[in-house]
Amino acid sequence: MARGPFPAFVVLSMAFGSVVLLMSTGVRWGVRRKVRTSFNGADYLEDSLAGNQTRYRVLATSEETGGESFTVEILIREGAYGATRGKPGSQPGHLHLQQDEQLEVKKGRLGYWRGHPSLAAEVAADDEDAMVVIQQGEAHSLWNAGGEGGGDLLLEATFRPAGKGEAFYETLAGLGHDYETALAVSPLQKVLTYHRGGAVLTGMPQWLWRLCEEWLVPLAEGFGYKAFYPEYSTRAAGTPSAAEALASVRAELADY
Ligand SMILES: *[C@@H]1O[C@H](CO)[C@@H](O)[C@H](O)[C@H]1NC(C)=O
């Protein structure tokens, strides 16, 4: 194999430097789970370690629209875990206190309910009006309704006004990744993120949700959980993502 242009010690120290960078940008989650993977600068966030569940991409940030809205592309794969059995990618019933949520179906078939879980409906990408608007304060859940062999569901979700912004979705996705799947994320963490994200879980009596807010939110914060983590912000500048750092180590070693 041809020797690259760099002496071995340069390559090795770069590799070592990259490994240190990897560790510092959060790849150690596998060993010490509280260390968080950095998605800074990444295009996509997968909400599972295997990357075969739900994928998020921020198309427009709150900052870019001056707080008017933010838009997230959501790809729900056919076999994604869902909060409800048989509904891939479904979230627990929830509502947004301040925001309207506009869903545009780009590909596949969206299943959703609005108001009550018994009121399920579907919209397909090739329907004439492939759009659903969920009003602020309206309980809902969404899933991939394509069925077996139905393929992926691709959505564009726009929230108006932006409120706390895309950090809510980035955090839920990043947590899912760092705890292997979204189902494995601590309920304390979820309650905290939903609460600070201006969302309410509607699958329980509302007095119980208020108790959660009053008791579990301070408890979660006492344990050191945060509502949002800077590592999961894809638009934060600077730190290369773990994947990029790894690719650069591989490129160096391949040269050598
Ligand atoms: C996703 O990948 C994991 C790990 O390879 C596997 O165990 C799981 O069954 C996969 N899930 C789906 C829905 O494909």
SS3 62: coil
- Per domain, the residue ranges of the chain are 45-246
Please write the tens of the pLDDT for every residue from 80-132.
999 999 999 999 999 999 999 999 999 999 999 999 999 999 999 999 999 99
> Residue 255: what pLDDT?
64
Per-residue pLDDT for 77 more than 90?
A: yes
pLDDT above 60 for 250: yes
Between 142 and 35, residue with greater pLDDT: 142
pLDDT of residue 248: 64
61-89 residues labelled b (16+ CB within 10 A) or e (exposed) = bbeebeeebbbbbbbbbbebbbbbeebbb
* Residue closest by Cα to atom 3 of ligand 1: 50
Ligand 1 pocket mutation, candidates 48, 52, 183, criterion most atoms within 8 A of CB: 52
Banded model confidence at residue 3, pLDDT cuts 50, 70, 90: low
181 Cβ closer than 6 Å to some ligand 1 atom: no
- Top-level class of domain 45-246: mainly beta
Query: For 16-72, how does the pLDDT look when each residue is reduced to its tens digit (9 = 90+)?
Result: 787 756 654 433 343 345 678 999 999 999 999 999 999 999 999 999 999 999 999
- Ligand 1 centre from 52 Cα, in Å? 6
Bigger pLDDT: 12 vs 165: 165
Tell me which residue has its CA closest to atom 4 in ligand 1.
50
- Ligand 1 atom closest to the CA of 80, numbered from 1: 13
Give the pLDDT confidence of 184-239 residue by residue, as tens digits: 998 889 999 999 999 999 999 999 999 999 999 998 888 788 899 999 999 886 55
Distance CA 70, CA 156 (A): 10
Comparing 9 with 104, the larger pLDDT belongs to 104
Ligand 1 close to Cβ of residue 79 (< 6 A): yes
The confidence score (pLDDT) of residue 143 equals 98
pTM (predicted TM-score): 0.79
Cβ(148) – ligand 1 distance below 6 Å: no
CB atoms within 10 A of CB 210: 11
pLDDT for res 252: 65
Ligand 1 atom nearest to 48, measured from its CA: 1
**Confidence at residue 28, expressed as pLDDT on a 0 to 100 scale:** 39
Q: Look at residue 88 in the predicted model and tell me its pLDDT.
A: 96
